[in-house]
Amino acid sequence: MTSTTVLEPFGARLRRAMDERGPLCVGIDPHASLLEDWGLGDDVAGLERFSRTVVEALADRVAVLKPQSAFFERFGSRGIAVLEKSVEEARAAGALVVMDAKRGDIGSTMAAYAETFLHKDAPLFSDALTVSPYLGYGSLRPAVDLARQSGAGLFVLALTSNPEGAEVQHAVTGPDAGGRSVAATVLAHLAEENAGQTPLGSFGAVVGATLGDLSSYDLAIGGPLLAPGIGAQGATPADLPAVFGPVLRDVVPNVSRGVLRHGPDVAALRASAGRFAEEIRAAVEGA
């Protein structure tokens, strides 16, 4: 693959998008149950209609759209084709696309995953990719390097909203890492990646909005914090200041089912996203 296009770094593009459109990320999560709720079949035609409707409704007004790759992959090559088209159309309409694929591997395999989503000429090129550091943060180096080269970004799983995550993420590491928790070590690595980057680094963390007081963690990594958990998982925009404190302005709150349940009506999807965006903006400005 070759490309001569040079993008402005993801962090700078994200900062501008959040300032202009509001700090909201909406998931594109075509669960079988949501397809049914929308009156669509659990098939490629339903997947395509669902994705096209979300992109049409929201890509020209929200800062970030986050397709969940698994819900497209389950339909095989035809589902991937729908995902490619959704990414292309969302980016063309001005939304930044975070591919929620949570890839994590070693060596040439990690490099191949990076090229799938972070190479500028790849059909699935996205503005950022979610990745898992649990084969060791260093295993992510191919993705870090290609993201930096492409002007893309990463969101690394650090403090996730699922309760099972705590058994790994809160575990204390050995003396070589200073006895920090795994999550704290991941956050420290990200701070190093973002050092000197303005107005916002391109290497972010996934930190759940449902986790309550996180003051024991240094969330000031110089990059964005993708915050799932608002809406169906129980968190609200009003909870954000207590969770994120002084780094609140760098938070990208994610809402999926809370918005998507209002489909397939385009106006209702837009109204729901608009309400969440305003509530989030009010929480940030009032903190």
For the segment 12-53, what is each residue's pLDDT rounded down to a tens digit?
A: 999 999 999 999 999 999 999 999 999 999 999 999 999 999
Asked whether the predicted pLDDT for residue 1 surpasses 60, the reply is no
Residue 4 pLDDT greater than 70, yes or no: no
**Residue of 66, 85, 102, 120 with catalytic role:** 102
pTM, full prediction: 0.96
For 45, residues 6+ apart whose C-beta sits below 8 A from its C-beta are: none
Total Cβ atoms within 10 A of residue 241: 15
User: Is residue 168 within a helix (H) or strand (E), and if so which, with residue range?
Assistant: helix 166-169
Residue owning tokens 């397709």: 67
Q: Is 102 a catalytic residue?
A: yes
- Tally Cβ neighbours within 10 Å of residue 243: 24
Pick the more confident residue, 163 or 141: 141
Q: 139-163: buried (b, 16+ CB within 10 Å) or exposed (e) per residue?
A: bbebbbebbbebbbbbbbbbbbbee
pLDDT of residue 287 exceeding 90, the answer is no
10-282 classified as CATH 2.40.160.40: no
Mean pLDDT, residues 3-7 taken together: 65
Are the C-beta atoms of residues 261 and 38 closer than 8 Å to each other? Answer: no
Calpha distance 263→50 (Å, rounded): 9
Angstrom distance (rounded) from CA 75 to CA 82? 10
How many residues comprise the chain? 287
Q: Which residue ranges make up each domain of the chain?
A: 10-282
User: pLDDT grade, residue 231 (50/70/90)?
Assistant: confident
Q: What is the number of other CB atoms lying within 10 angstroms of the CB of residue 175?
A: 6
Residue pLDDT, tens place only, 174-185 = 766 678 999 999
The reported pLDDT for the residue numbered 88 is: 98
**Average confidence (pLDDT) over 186-215:** 97
